[in-house]
Structure 1
Amino acid sequence: MMLKILKEKKLVKDMRSLISFACYTELKKLRFHTMFRFSTFFRSHRFPYSTLSPISGNRKPLLLVDYLMDSLRFSKQDAISISTKSKVTHLKSTINSDLVLNIFKTYGLNPSQIRQIVSSVPKILTCKANKTLEPKLRVFQELGLSGSDLASLLRRNPEIFAFGLHTRIMPGLQLLRKLLGSDENVIEVMNKSRWLYFTNNSMKRLSKNVSLLQNFGLLNERIIMFIRSNPEKVMVNPELLESRLDYVEEKLGISRESPAFIHALSVVLWYTDSEIEKKMEIFRGFGWSDSDIALLFRHQPYCLNKSESNIRDKLKFYVKDLGYTPSYLISCASFFTFSLDKRVIPRNMMLKILKEKKLLSDKPSLITIASYTESKFLEFLRDFEDEIPLLREVYLDTVKRVSRFESKRIGSPRSFQQKHEKC
């Protein structure tokens, strides 16, 4: 009877087909009950489906925004911002991203540092955790980087995740070790620069520039100091470096044996001859001779590092207002490195008050108290609290007001001093 019905519906042709059809039906029932029991088991034991790669692979991709909020506790607004600037909007699976976060934790990064890294380079969540990320982190850890230093390196150099370990990272480290002599120096240079921008060509340039410095006659310790202080400047065009070496010695008159030579070199590398000449002309306008200027630069090369307006303001205050001579300023060259508004003028005001009250027996000079650290200068003022109870408060208030108005630059330093001499 069943065979007749199935034939009429054209589902089977003979008894053999009927048997096959029956077996197929029973197999479907068996598979259904098996999958039902399978899913019931995992639900009852609270296994998340996302941990099962066959199932998670078929699920709808997870939005990056949701993952940032759930796994890293970003606010919705921050998560949207990070997702917007990233080329990654969805995560096909959270398994690899979870591995990335766990690897960061095993290398000593705290949740805040991990959030900073992910915020800087969200694509890290799609990096191959064990194959790509972990070997690179291991190399940096063996170098001596961990915790905040490691996090800082990764934030400044997000390209690290795209660079080959053996084609870019290791050769770069080996070159820096060879040039700098110690892992401590390598770490210092890495902390000051985006050193991983080194391509094969730039590493060749670095080697060539170091050879130039050596052939010029600079000692290795001076070269190492130059690289540690100026990791970007040692990457300039070799022709420019060679010309500036001659400029420092011949034009500025600073001997290559002088400790000031590499400091002067680091300054002139950033300026053209005409820019330096304009700054020298400002000194001449205040009665300085070329020999005076050259002597000042030998004592304090970073005078050239200041803007033209900064140099002009300082010379006006020191020469015109205070009456200092070039020879005195050369002997106190650090005057040109201090902030005029935030340090020199407020402390000069305190010095004037103390002198007017005749409270200074040994009369320290302005250069002396200008050289004090902030905490030491406050201790210096504390000695006069009995005679002038509010002296420290007046000083701190003056510095605070200077900081508030500095960006607006209302008037010259001289006019600012006149406005606040009544404090």
Structure 2
Amino acid sequence: MLRLICIKLPKQLKHKASSLTHGHFFSTSSVKPIAELPNSKDPQSLTVSFLQNSCGLSLESAISASQKLNIENLKNPNSVLDLLRTHGLTQTHIRKLISSRPRLLLADLDNILKPNMELFESLGISSTSLAKMLSNANNPRVLESDAYTVVEFFRAHGFRNEQISTLTVKRPLLYLFNAQKILKPKLDFFKSLGFSDLEIAKLLSTQPSILARSLEKQIIPCVQELRKIRGTDENVLKAIKAGYGILEANVEKVLKPKMSMLISRGVPQSLALKMFFLGPTSLLMSTYRFSEIVSEVMKLGFDPNILQFIVAIRSLAMSKTLWERKVEAYKSFGLSKDEIYSALKRQPLFMRVSEKKIQKSMGFFVNKLKMKPSLISKNPILIRYSLEKRIIPRCSVLQLLISKRLIKEDTSIFHVFGMNENEFVEKLVSKYQNEVPDVVRAHQGKIEFQGFPVDLKLWVL
């Protein structure tokens, strides 16, 4: 039988057919000879050809996919592909999507596929995000779901479009769930704990994987264990709000051992429990890595009897690779390792900022303000401030007032940066806005900061 099939196959396909058969990829009793001629009447041959030429599948993938559909059953073989392309999917996306879900080509275009695509688009999901989401292995089934019912369910429970959009991209398979039977009981449970609709929407759009976890086997047992540790529902609520991922943890195996470790290192139990409020995600790390971080914090000289010890653990709670990248980012602007650790002791959250923010903030202070790196080490809180909302607008105000000789050139910029917003506006904006109207525009970020004169004495501590 195999010999007859190979005789009818074009020469360039004989080897593939033989290897596929010997690998048991498909049964020779169920597959007809594949003709290369475009006018072939063989349905399977036409289907394989369409999957290869229009969808970009390899011969092997096309043969496998052809077992699940027949091109003769397609009203317009290219209509689904045209729809996908219209919504930004490339040929690469389409190949992945059809490879994992060939029967998508048989789906109801007008009543299901098109309305779903338009619905996702109306939520504000970009074509790039949509294409990436749909081309993942299991996600194409979302296009055939009753997406409208799920979206309306979330809207009825206080979710905004942008939250539904985030949830969709992060966890698209939620659209395959029965909203009333599977999703609603979880929302009701969170409400029974004291969460408001707005808080539930924030929680689940931030951590949508929680909705995929079992209410009876994971969520409720986790809350019950947290209640034993924290004592009241109010404290449990605070712990969950501080780190939503805690709801997916095994309290007995993951969280409790770390609490015991802290206590064994001299941390009072009352202080160790504050980890649930200040850094619960730190408790989700591997026990080995958590132990390394606790040891590092002790080497730095933090007292286990004060709150800063817990804050420092939270600050260092990252992978070794990320930690080293952040250290290198600071070093690239002239800070020594000793200065970095000195800054960390002054301001434990110094290392909590992102690598991108380190580069951006250090670049501004060192290159634009001509500040010595050692001064930043002595004033590490600077790295925590927002460049766009605080630092640059205040520099623009200072630049303007100094040029008008309204404030002294030896004004401490550290003091100016450290003022709370109300104090800054009162002393340096409102006070001068009649005399220098542009000071308001400078504070609003509408006047570009050009830089201070090099000899300006602003670095008074």
TM-score range, shorter chain: 0.5 to 0.7
Name the CA distance, whole Å, in 1 between partners of 2:236 and 2:175.
28
TM-score after normalising by structure 1: 0.60
Match of 2:345 among 293, 298, 309: 298
CA-to-aligned-CA distance 1:164-191 (integer Å, 9 cap, x gap): 2221111122233333444344444444
TM-score after normalising by structure 2: 0.56
Name the CA distance, whole Å, in 2 between partners of 1:74 and 1:335.
40
1:212 alignment counterpart = 261
2:435 alignment counterpart = 387
CA-to-aligned-CA distance 1:361-390 (integer Å, 9 cap, x gap): 898632232123446534431211232221
Match of 2:398 among 351, 364, 376: 351
Q: How does 1:314-329 map onto structure 2 within 5 Å?
A: 316=366, 321=370
Distance change (3 Å), C-alpha of 1:78 and 1:305: closer
Distance change (3 Å), C-alpha of 1:169 and 1:147: same
Name the CA distance, whole Å, in 1 between partners of 2:120 and 2:365.
54
What 5-or-longer segments of structure 2 have no aligned partner? Answer: 1-107, 457-461
Distance change (3 Å), C-alpha of 1:125 and 1:304: closer
User: How far apart are 1:217 and its partner, in Å?
Assistant: 2.4
Tell me the percent identity: 21
Name the CA distance, whole Å, in 2 between partners of 1:141 and 1:268.
34
Q: How does 1:74-89 map onto structure 2 within 5 Å?
A: 75=122, 84=134, 85-89=139-143
1:12 alignment counterpart = none
Q: How many equivalent pairs are there? A: 334
1:179 alignment counterpart = 229
Name the CA distance, whole Å, in 1 between partners of 2:124 and 2:270.
50
Distance change (3 Å), C-alpha of 1:152 and 1:289: closer
CA RMSD of aligned residues (A): 4.8
Match of 1:370 among 412, 417, 422: 417
2:186 alignment counterpart = 136
- Equivalent AA in structure 2 for residue 256 of structure 1: P
Distance change (3 Å), C-alpha of 1:317 and 1:376: farther
User: How far apart are 1:205 and its partner, in Å?
Assistant: 1.6
Name the CA distance, whole Å, in 1 between partners of 2:373 and 2:159.
54
- Equivalent AA in structure 1 for residue 434 of structure 2: D
SS of residue matched to 2:432:
coil
1:40 alignment counterpart = none
Q: How does 1:13-412 map onto structure 2 within 5 Å?
A: 63-65=111-113, 68=116, 75=122, 84=134, 85-90=139-144, 108-109=157-158, 112=161, 116=165, 119-120=168-169, 121=171, 123-124=173-174, 126-191=176-241, 193-195=243-245, 198=248, 200=250, 204-250=253-299, 252-270=300-318, 272=320, 290=338, 296-305=343-352, 307=355, 309=359, 313=363, 316=366, 321=370, 330=378, 332-339=379-386, 343-344=390-391, 346-348=393-395, 350-351=397-398, 353-355=400-402, 357-360=404-407, 365-374=412-421, 376-379=423-426, 380-397=428-445, 401=448
Distance change (3 Å), C-alpha of 1:280 and 1:249: farther
Distance change (3 Å), C-alpha of 1:247 and 1:322: closer
* Contact 1:157-1:196 at 8 Å conserved across structures: no
Distance change (3 Å), C-alpha of 1:196 and 1:350: closer
SS of residue matched to 1:270:
coil
